[in-house]
Amino acid sequence: MNEAAAYREMIQTASDAITARVEEVPADKLHARPGDGLNPVGWNYWHALRVWDLDINWLINGQDPAEDAWHRGGFSEKSGYNPDGIGMRGLGIGLGYSDAEVDALGVISYESMKEYHEQLLAETLTYLDNASDDELRRTFEALGGRGETSPAARLQHLVNHTWGHIGELSYAKGMLGMTDGTYPGS
């Protein structure tokens, strides 16, 4: 198995896992806070997708943020939520959001997030289908001038970040009284 195929498998597995945990959440609980200051399931899902978009499109593919999957897919219009200029450094990916900014995501339906997710997965798998080991090792400037990074490093971040948020959204589901259907014996 080459490196791109390994990333493909890890990303597909993480994608399947996050889908399995979110698709069973009722619409009325998707954006419900599991406690004061705790992020809803929907926020964790959306944030994981926005960071995925940052990794694959802004950083690896070098696209302008206004041309990422969210914007090319018309998701601001479809969902009724525009993340531009919000949060830390105005990145609109969920980092540095206030409670009010987290709550504003409540207009985004699961269907919109699922469609965004499917677009990101398709774009990522297409990239990996064409990525050589040399491509995965090329270096470029990291976001915020934090030195050099590579597509391989960003793909590792994408996988690790997604799994971290899978844990958080599973926790949020439990706090809202939902059992996790992915657990054996559930």
pLDDT tens track for 135-149 = 999 999 887 777 899
| SS3 label, residue 141 | strand
Instruction: Give me the residue spans of the domains in the chain.
Output: 3-175
- The domain defined by 3-175 folds into Four Helix Bundle (Hemerythrin (Met), subunit A) (1.20.120)
The pLDDT of 64-79, averaged and rounded, is 95
The pLDDT of 108-117, averaged and rounded, is 97
Among 19, 8, 68, which residue's Cα sits nearest to residue 45? 19
Give residue-wise pLDDT tens across range 43-56.
999 999 999 999 99
